[in-house]
Amino acid sequence: MITKNSPIGVLDSGVGGLTTVKELQRLLPKENIIYFGDNKNVPYGNKSQEEIISLTRRMIEFLISQNVKVIGVACNTISTIIDLISDDYDVKIIKVIDPVVDNIRNVLRKEKVGLIATNFTVNSGYYDKMLGDIKVYGKGSGELAAIVDSGKIDRIEVKEIIRTHVNSILEKESVDTVILGCTHYPIVKDIFEECYPEINFINPAFQQAEAMKEYLEEKQWLKEEESKAFKVYTTGDEDKYHTIMGMLQLELPQEIIQYND
Ligand code: DGL
């Protein structure tokens, strides 16, 4: 049975969803969090829809077995297809894309935006569909998520990749706002900003965490006790979590657990 003390679940193909965990820790400091990163199979952005669905089901079913009260899909790639399977589960699933789209439409009120994301996300047209009249200039990257996920971030190499991608957006249209439409990218947001100080790079994790908070408030499921636990399950290598968590300045987990089928 779900109670206020049930944990919040967050999932991603790898370490990218930690950007959402960071915002959750800030907004909801009393909550228990269980994170699932499928690092063994990253990047999802170069896989087929069928593969992404089957890998995602495994993560959702694991989090449900941990009695989570809500699941944050902290992965843009998965968020583009999650509606195809979310009705199969009773738990509330909150995507990373829809809350940021609301913000761009209703708060920022942009007429055009750039989007840098995985090839799968860009090709899905999901942001374009959700943003309606707002023109989206997208560029997919086949390599950036995997480089960030490796935890071995060579700033010069990453700068080169960022410049190539963002320039290709700017060649199409001059935009002052670019959505970091892959949760791995805000981990290197400072490199984006160093390359393009005049552009506002949007990190959708903030709005996703807000949406999760609103849902829990509505259900009256906010945890009240102070004691809390943060656990990470990964199908990959736990060492990189220390590196990335250090970069994001996260509150560290009590445990990082190797997940095997
Ligand atoms: N973090 C995921 C996203 O937001 C993608 C990384 C991947 O390709 O697996 O799209």
Q: pLDDT tens digits, residue range 244-256?
A: 999 999 999 999 9
Whether residues 155 and 236 share a domain: the answer is no
User: Is residue 2 assigned to a domain?
Assistant: no
Is 80 annotated as ligand-binding? no
Do residues 195 and 243 share a domain?
no
**pLDDT tens digits for range 68-109:** 999 999 999 999 999 999 999 999 999 999 999 999 999 999
Containing domain of residue 29, as a range? 8-95+206-258
Instruction: Kindly state if the Cβ of 72 falls inside 6 Å of ligand 1.
Output: no
**Residue 162 located in a structural domain:** yes
Asked if 14 and 83 sit in the same domain, the reply is yes
pLDDT score, position 248: 96
Q: Mean per-residue pLDDT for 115-126?
A: 98
| CA–CA separation, 94 and 162 (whole Å) | 28
Residue 30 and residue 19 in one domain: yes
Closest Cα to residue 192, out of 220, 158, 147, 242? Answer: 158
What strand order describes the sheet that includes 200-202? Answer: 135-141, 112-118, 177-181, 200-202
Helix (H, G, I), strand (E, B) or coil at 108: helix
> What's the mean pLDDT in 49-77?
98
- For the chain, the average pLDDT equals 97
Whether residue 66 lies inside any domain: the answer is: yes
Q: Are residues 198 and 112 in the same domain?
A: yes
Residues 125 and 178 in one domain: yes
**CATH classification of the domain holding 103:** 3.40.50.1860
CA distances from 233 to 39, 188, 207, 217, 255 (A): 10, 23, 24, 26, 8
Are both 122 and 251 inside the same structural domain?
Answer: no
Looking at residue 227, its pLDDT comes to 85
Q: Please give the pLDDT value at position 69.
A: 98
SS3 content of the chain, % helix, strand, coil (to 5): 50, 20, 35
Rounded to an integer, the average pLDDT of 216-241 is: 95
- DSSP state, residue 125: T
1 inside domain:
no
Range 127-148 average pLDDT:
97
Q: What percent of the chain has pLDDT over 70?
A: 100
Domain edge (last residue) among 156, 172, 203: 203
Residue 77 counted as domain residue: yes
Residue 178 lies in a domain: yes
Q: Does one domain contain both 22 and 80?
A: yes
pLDDT at residue number 226: 86
Q: Are residues 88 and 211 in the same domain?
A: yes
Ligand 1 centroid to residue 106 C-alpha, Å: 26
Q: Are residues 58 and 118 in the same domain?
A: no
Residues 160-170, mean pLDDT to the nearest whole number: 98
Q: Which of 59, 97, 98, 118 to mutate to test the pocket of ligand 1 (most atoms within 8 A of CB)?
A: 118
pTM listed for this prediction: 0.97
Is residue 3 in a domain? no
Percent of the chain whose pLDDT exceeds 90 = 98
pLDDT in tens, 7-23: 999 999 999 999 999 99
**Cis preceding linkage at 99, omega within 30:** no
Residue 44 in contact with ligand 1 by CB distance below 6 A: yes
Residue 195 a catalytic site member: no
Say yes or no: 114 and 240 in one domain: no
110, 164: one domain: yes
Is pLDDT of 261 > 80?
no
Name the residue among 101, 110, 42 with its Cα closest to residue 77: 42
- Which residues are 231's β-sheet partners? 34, 255
- Decide: 38 in ligand 1 pocket, CB within 6 A: no
Please tell me the total number of residues recorded for the chain in this structure. 261
199-209: average pLDDT: 98
User: Which pLDDT score is estimated for 42?
Assistant: 96
Residue 142 in domain: yes
Residue 32 burial class via C-beta count within 10 angstroms: exposed 0-12, middle 13-18, buried 19 and up: buried
Domain boundary among 179, 203, 227: 203
Per the structure, the count of domains in the chain is 2
Q: CB neighbours of 208 closer than 8 A, spacing ≥ 6? A: 20, 23, 72, 74, 94, 95, 96, 99, 100
